[in-house]
Amino acid sequence: MFSKILIANRGEIACRVAATCRRLGIRTVAVYSDADADARHVAFCDEAVHIGGAAARDSYLRADHIIEMAKETGAQAIHPGYGFLSENEAFAEACAAAGLVFIGPPASAIHAMGSKSAAKQLMEKASVPLVPGYHGEHQDAGLLRRESDRIGYPVLLKASAGGGGKGMRVVESGDAFEAALASVKREASASFGDDKVLVEKYLTRPRHIEIQVFADTHGNCVYLFERDCSVQRRHQKVLEEAPAPGMTAERRRAMGEAAVAAAKAVGYVGAGTVEFIANQDGSFYFMEMNTRLQVEHPVTEMITGQDLVEWQLRVAAGEPLPLKQDQLRIDGHALEARIYAENPDKQFLPSTGTLRFLRTPPAVQFMRGGDAHGPAGVRIDAGVREGDTISPYYDPMIAKLIVWGKDRDEALARMRQALAAYHVVGLSTNVAFLQRLVKSEAFRTADLDTGLIERNEATLFPQPAPVGMEIIALAVAALLDRETRERHIDAADQHSPWTHAGAWRLNGGATRTLRFAYGSHTLDVTLTANARGSTLIYADQAAPFKAACQADDIRVDLGTRRAHGQVHVERDDFHVFNAGRHAVLGWLDPLAHAGETEGEGGKLTAPMPGKVIAVMVEPGSTVTRGTPLLVMEAMKMEHTISAPADGVVSEILFGVGEQVTEGAQLLAFATGES
């Protein structure tokens, strides 16, 4: 076994790999960019080396420099994690040439599966079922259009060298083909340096089911059962689970054996995932093979009790697989929710900022599923801490929240509870969206397919619920507690009247009106107090009011009702977390000056930091509502800025290739009304 390895990655996967290495007594070397100098993975590893600038191409993609650092620090092997260089055959070859072990498959296997087109040709020879499509090398736009017409719409255009949902478009008709092809090629070229595409028949209600495979250098190959990854947005996974609901033993065996056949066809070694698209009738087709550890590997670990990173290390060190196929078992059910810094209400646009407040459910960062399922069956794999920044340079994942239960119902209950206890302030997250998702009828009853989110938009994207008495009461309690602490009470003088300042008045009680802003609404609250106690009046309701505060944790009694919650206060914003809900109430201090009026007409601004990659109009252009005006790229995804109404583009403020910050004015636009 190795005594020291270098982890050529960042974030939660770097921490995840380091956790197993620590348990096995293997020293670890972290690498970090300018943006990650204070990152969690840097502190978590035994050593750390700086490898370059903030952008991935200047740091985590510098294969030669990473190899140099591995040799300099005395590492014997390199674990690539996932993303970055994990599926780069040239990097795998360079590691071998430098006398370093690449903890992953042979370069030949990466090459064979790196091109989706070539991989599907190999799978056809290995008798692995394939979706009807065109996987050839010819990329003439006219040929691709004719092949799409032959296959029949809708079709899926997919970057041949792609992954992670990038470079994919569903084309509903021939009229939309040309624009979709151009967009896919641009995104593929930017993300993978290769604009080749393939065309496949788009199945209308498919499930995305993948099989975890493992092979060693002794000729052994097994499958560690399946994961259902059907719940997706933008072709990227949101919720994963294992085992797949409704999977029969016969179908599991058939898919597992097909996955093993796929791995053997390319002489595979190490951890890999064979991804299938499955019809509701049980038929399944090969999509691709990911020649690395997957983001969602924890759910497999939780149901099998196996540490897949340990398996990777042992196989890379030349050992045989720890178990044979007939020794593997499924125990219980596991779910994984990817917690992202993103705004689901704005088409899941990534969000950047500082994690100013972070509270999570009781959990462990990593455990072996069969040995212990952690506090209340909860596991958290995270690469960030409170105070860390989510930057625009890398994937906006905050953490992976994984739960285990003896069956799917218990796992769902634990996931609901865990998400309700996951509190973040400082940037937008998808936590509330995930809560609605796991509570939805479709997910609860396992009515799964890759279009689940789109089919349930009304349920998953509801209008904001009104603020109830409990949330208002928690905010009021936090405000009163802050005011008490700001009096600068002299603790040495316990008889000071300021120490006991309260509702008592010489001639009776006190009445105070508090006003909060909630979105575009103004909420008025009246608090009356006298020697007998306090009463809170809100929205035509009145209730006795009593509060107990201990830092951010607050309890309020409203007569016979009691509410608990956390309130994080930033200036005059009160972030109230109660019963799984996060509401932001802005206190309107009557002594403060009125703020400036927000917003100006005639502007189109950047929804997030990014780069302008295309401008479709010129100054003076007359356009109609919905006309594409400009395309931004951020987080390796394209975002089109369209005309909000009929009007005229009066000025373009950024050109192709220029970086823009969130909220920056991109162009000036005049409507007919203005």
DSSP run (H or E) holding 453: helix 452-455
Angstrom distance (rounded) from CA 238 to CA 231: 6
Show the tokens assigned to 224. 């560690």
Domain 469-489+497-587: CATH class, spelled out: alpha beta
For the domain made up of 207-452, give the CATH fold: D-amino Acid Aminotransferase; Chain A, domain 1 (3.30.470)
Query: May I ask the CATH architecture of the domain 132-201?
Result: 2-Layer Sandwich (3.30)
pLDDT category of residue 494 using cuts at 50, 70 and 90: low
Delimit the domains of the chain by residue range: 4-103, 132-201, 207-452, 469-489+497-587, 603-671
Q: Does domain 4-103 have CATH number 3.40.50.20?
A: yes
Least confident of 32-41, 295-304, 664-673: 664-673
| CA distance to 52, 316, 371, 399, 553, per residue, from 302 (Å) | 36, 23, 9, 17, 32
Eight-class DSSP state of 117 = H
- What is the distance between the alpha carbons of residues 565 and 569, in angstroms, rounded to a whole number? 13
Q: What percent of the chain has pLDDT over 90?
A: 70
- Supply the pTM of this predicted model: 0.81
- 541 token code pair: 């309701």
Lowest mean pLDDT among 84-98, 205-219, 363-377: 363-377
More confident residue, 443 or 605: 443
pLDDT computed for residue 97 by the predictor? 97
- What is 603-671's CATH number? 2.40.50.100
For residue 466, what are the CA distances in angstroms to 80, 84, 521, 535, 618? 47, 44, 10, 21, 44
CA–CA separation, 293 and 10 (whole Å): 14
Give the 3-state secondary structure of residue 59.
coil
Dihedral sign from CA coordinates of 583, 589, 590, 592: negative
* pLDDT beyond 60 at 663: yes
Q: pLDDT tens for residues 551-568?
A: 889 999 999 999 999 999
Question: Catalytic pick from 292, 338, 379, 414?
Answer: 292
pLDDT at 369: 47
Please provide the DSSP assignment of 138-153 as one string: ---HHHHHHHHHHH-S
Per-residue pLDDT, 589: 82
How much is the pLDDT for 86?
Answer: 96
Residue 89's CB is within 10 A of a number of other CB atoms, namely 19
Residue 370: per-residue pLDDT: 44
- Give the pLDDT confidence of 10-63 residue by residue, as tens digits: 999 999 999 999 999 999 999 999 999 999 999 999 999 999 999 999 999 999
Residue linked to tokens 């005594």: 3
Question: CA–CA separation, 62 vs 322, rounded Å?
Answer: 34
**Active site includes 292?**
yes
- Distance CA(489)–CA(497), nearest Å, equals 10
The yes-or-no verdict on residue 367 having pLDDT over 70 is no
Please report, rounded to a whole number, the percentage of residues in the chain having pLDDT higher than 70. 92
pLDDT exceeds 90 at position 256:
yes
* Listed ranges 240-244, 511-515, 589-593; the one with the highest mean pLDDT: 240-244
Query: What is the secondary structure of 394-428 as a DSSP string?
Result: S--EEEEEEEEESSHHHHHHHHHHHHHT-EEESS-
Range with the lowest mean pLDDT among 117-126, 286-295, 369-378, 614-623?
369-378
* Whole-Å CA distances, 648 to 60, 373, 433, 605, 623: 43, 60, 37, 16, 6
CA-only gyration radius of the chain, Å: 28
Q: Looking up tokens 């120490």, which residue turns up?
A: 499
pLDDT, mean over the chain = 90
pLDDT value at position 654?
Answer: 92
Say if CB 652 and CB 587 are below 8 A apart: no
Q: With cut-offs at 50, 70 and 90, classify the pLDDT of residue 500.
A: low
Cβ proximity of 32 and 9 under 8 Å: no
Q: Note the pLDDT tens digit of each residue in 141-184.
A: 999 999 999 999 999 999 988 776 778 999 999 999 999 999 99
> Per-residue pLDDT tens for 176-186?
999 999 999 99
Residue 598: is its pLDDT beyond 50? no
Per-residue pLDDT tens digits for 72-108: 999 999 999 999 999 999 999 999 999 999 999 999 9
What confidence tier does 600 reach under pLDDT thresholds 50, 70, 90? Answer: very low
Q: Given its phi and psi angles, is residue 377 left (phi above 0), alpha (psi -120 to 50 degrees) or beta?
A: left
Distance CA 87, CA 94 (A): 13
